[in-house]
Structure 1
Amino acid sequence: MLCHVEPTTEPNAPAPQPAQVAYREYLPDAAVAHAALAAEIALAITYNGLNQAVMMVSPGNIEDFIRGFSLSNAIIASVDEIHDLRLTHFDQACQADVQISNRAFWALKEHRRQMAGTSGCGLCGVEALEQALPPLEILPPSTLPPAAHFDNIRQRIEQAQSLARSSGALHAALYFDATGEALLCREDIGRHNALDKLIGALHSDAVDARQGFVVVTSRCSLELIHKAVRARLGTLVSLSAPTALTVRWALKHRLNLIHVPHRNAPRIYSPVQEFSA
């Protein structure tokens, strides 16, 4: 259920300051600290009442984005073809209702199938906010991996990525078992594809995904949280910092979420109340 909030006083407001999110380093007696994480929201766009796309975007300058998106994707030939643009704000999302000219709307209906998935956000083929922010099962709590399992993990991931060593430009999703060994690795040019491949491999090999942990080498975006919860993973580890919204969803659904920075100790974003030495 989306919670409606009052719109900002400035419709095309700049992006808000990063949110402060709690975490703990994987160090003995580590205290809870806070880090500034980038914000993201689900933006749903309709043209003349027709659901077109939902994508994850940084909040702020939404009207500029919609105009640019409409132009750059040939939905309109000029900004003059946008007759009205109304934004409805929610706590995790924004609904944009755009009225365009009859000519532009007719052209949109002719080629809207070619529009789906033109961005790397992973949600551009989704047509309603309910699909971007779906109700998901609350997972049973899962034990955090021991801190020692993250020693030299970036080097071990590089060793497991056989395809990336020869070609580069590939994301990877890996499964580390309960002893901390890399058991499975799947690579793909699409970060969502890599995780999907790994989830499929876990099921094919009858691996209990709640034991051990899964690592993604890509940005940890909301749709990866969706996949992890639906696959009933216990712990998701990302080499790139999560956003504030992904932490919020991981906490809500009891998915362990850990970030492994380049030069610092791993950071536990979900849960922050427990510690596994």
Structure 2
Amino acid sequence: MSDVQFDTPILPTRPCRVRRVSADGARDHEDLLATEVPVALVFNGLSHVVMMCSPLDLDDFALGFSLSEGIVGRREEIFSIETVERAAGIELHLELASARFSALKERRRQLTGRTGCGLCGVESLQQAIRPVGHVGQTLQLAPGALGRALAELETGQTLAMETGCTHAAAWCAPDGSVVAVREDVGRHVAFDKLIGARAQADWGAGFALLSSRASYELVHKAAAVGIELLAAMSAPTALAVELAQASGLTLAAFVRKQRYGLYSHPARVPDSAPQH
């Protein structure tokens, strides 16, 4: 099997010839495909993890992943981020504060060789379910905010409109207006990109809207960085709901323009139905 090699520079999309077949016959077209690239996060020279990503907003991803996974507690603990393109993918080199890097090395040492539950090398299921603190209690949405956010997100997914194959994460103001959108082939990566962008901007109060389902990992990332409300277009998992309830986070799912479900802490969202 030959190794996959990427062109330089690595672009978010690439053209592809496709034969489309329907009841009307077969025709050749040129499609745009979303690029999926291995991205390695390297902390102080130590390779930590490789993720499959869309090659855009990677500085946001590096910062957001570091924050949501507890590698750093604030962005000032990352001194620099350097992007290095290789033939087989991209490396993101981060220089951490020495105390944070020492803690990361200790965590890696404790995980080495442990395969008890088969998840990330942790020793037990209790270690797999990582605790988080309580989020704040200051957010209050305007009536119709979730529906407005969904409508704006649908028009703000540039990469998805071109390729039809990426997830999106949006930061939305309390009235539902979309402040920023990050996209990626991976839903976790899209959310990490949004978390990283938020850590560098003064967007003020608001909530996160995801184009995907709401899994435990996504709720955990939201709670870890103090997001009070997470909204998802698809279903939540049972563990995601449990974590949202325990952390004080409002979890909305099956979000549509005129309906949604509130699975935890509904007081941040008005009871009245969205008005259109």
TM-score of the superposition, structure 1-length normalised?
Answer: 0.51
Residues in 2 aligned to 1:173 and 1:138: alpha-carbon distance in whole angstroms: 22
Residues in 2 aligned to 1:197 and 1:274: alpha-carbon distance in whole angstroms: 25
User: Which of 156, 161, 168 is the equivalent residue of 1:165?
Assistant: 161
* SS, match of residue 147 in structure 1: coil
Gaps of 5+ in 2: 1-111
Please state how far the C-alpha of 1:153 moved relative to its aligned partner.
4.0
Please state how far the C-alpha of 1:185 moved relative to its aligned partner.
0.3
Residues in 2 aligned to 1:183 and 1:141: alpha-carbon distance in whole angstroms: 21
* SS, match of residue 184 in structure 1: strand
Residues in 2 aligned to 1:205 and 1:141: alpha-carbon distance in whole angstroms: 21
Aligned to 2:188: 192
Q: Which letter does structure 1 place at the counterpart of 2:247?
A: H
* SS, match of residue 219 in structure 1: coil
Residue correspondence of structure 1 range 74-113 to structure 2 within 5 A? none
Q: Are positions 1:127 and 2:127 aligned together?
A: no
Aligned to 1:179: 175
* SS, match of residue 251 in structure 2: strand
Residues in 2 aligned to 1:135 and 1:152: alpha-carbon distance in whole angstroms: 33
- Are 1:172 and 1:191, in contact at CA under 8 Å, matched by a contact in 2? yes
Residues in 2 aligned to 1:171 and 1:207: alpha-carbon distance in whole angstroms: 21
Aligned to 1:245: 239
Bigger drift between 168-177 and 254-263 goes to 254-263
1:135-175 CA distance string (max 9 Å, x none): 21122324342231123543321211011100121011000
1:88-135 CA distance string (max 9 Å, x none): xxxxxxxxxxxxxxxxxxxxxxxxx9xx9xxxxxx9535243442112
- Are 1:217 and 1:238, in contact at CA under 8 Å, matched by a contact in 2? yes
- Are 2:142 and 2:175, in contact at CA under 8 Å, matched by a contact in 1? no
RMSD of aligned residue pairs (Cα, Å):
2.5
- Are 1:173 and 1:185, in contact at CA under 8 Å, matched by a contact in 2? yes
- Are 2:119 and 2:128, in contact at CA under 8 Å, matched by a contact in 1? no
Residues in 1 aligned to 2:119 and 2:166: alpha-carbon distance in whole angstroms: 21
Aligned to 1:268: 262
Gaps of 5+ in 1: 1-112, 117-122
Change (3 A) 1:148 1:216: same
* SS, match of residue 257 in structure 1: strand
Q: Are positions 1:220 and 2:196 aligned together?
A: no
Change (3 A) 1:274 1:191: closer
1:35-92 CA distance string (max 9 Å, x none): xxxxxxxxxxxxxxxxxxxxxxxxxxxxxxxxxxxxxxxxxxxxxxxxxxxxxxxxxx
Please state how far the C-alpha of 1:178 moved relative to its aligned partner.
2.7
* SS, match of residue 258 in structure 1: strand
TM-score of the superposition, structure 2-length normalised?
Answer: 0.51
Q: Which letter does structure 2 place at the counterpart of 1:149?
A: A
* SS, match of residue 232 in structure 1: coil
1:172-208 CA distance string (max 9 Å, x none): 1000113321111000011110000000000111334
Residues in 1 aligned to 2:140 and 2:189: alpha-carbon distance in whole angstroms: 26
